[in-house]
Amino acid sequence: MPGMDTLYQVSALNTAYAATIDGDRLEDWPGFFHADCLYKITTAENVRRGRLAGIIYADSRGMLEDRVAAIRRANIFETHAYRHVIGMASILNEDADGIRAEAPFLVVRTMRDGQMTLFAAGRYQDLLRPDETGALRFAERVVICDSPRFDTLVAIPL
């Protein structure tokens, strides 16, 4: 069974991750990942059927940085904000490959006019490894959404 220190580190990483996105500090978001990483948004149905593709797929921190640059410079969308609620992580495995963890999440979107909607719900499946400083970073973050429907504003990271 993993120790409380591992659970604390994973929870602290998830908290900082959510605060960075919710605080519109998207330029800092790629820093939560290793240089060689996987970030994917997919659906629970795709996972059940063994479909590997996602609606968003990035396999390096550079691709995540490009995504942020596109959000800031190229994408045009109505002003809105996210609020992540991330549940307690479950540590599934901890070995030489890293820490495998899973955590449920909800994302509420608030539009400029104040309208709030449940934007996404699902779970994160993560592989975490320490970086050269010893801080945990995502080697993989697979965002598995419960619904097969996606809003066009899924441009901002979940």
Per-residue confidence (pLDDT) for residue 153, from 0 to 100: 62
Name the DSSP letter for residue 146: S
The phi-psi region of residue 122 (left if phi > 0; otherwise alpha if psi is between -120 and 50; otherwise beta) is left
Residue 33 CA: distances (Å) to CA of 9, 76, 111, 115, 129: 15, 26, 28, 32, 9
pLDDT value of position 71? 84
* Continuous H helices in the chain: 4-22, 44-48, 61-73
Domains and CATH numbers, the chain: 4-145 (3.10.450.50)
CB half-sphere exposure, 12, CA atoms < 13 A: 9
| Dist CA 147 CA 140 (whole Å) | 21
pLDDT of 118:
94
Q: Are 32 and 10 in contact (CB under 8 A)?
A: no
Closest of 146, 150, 108 to residue 21, by C-alpha = 108
Find residue 93's DSSP bridge partners.
100
Residues of the chain with pLDDT under 70: 1-2, 75-77, 152-153
* Closest to 141 measured CA to CA, from 124, 155, 156, 158: 124
SS3 at position 41 = strand
* pTM given for the model: 0.93
- Which residue, chain included where needed, has tokens 């619904």? 147
What was the pLDDT predicted at 62? 97
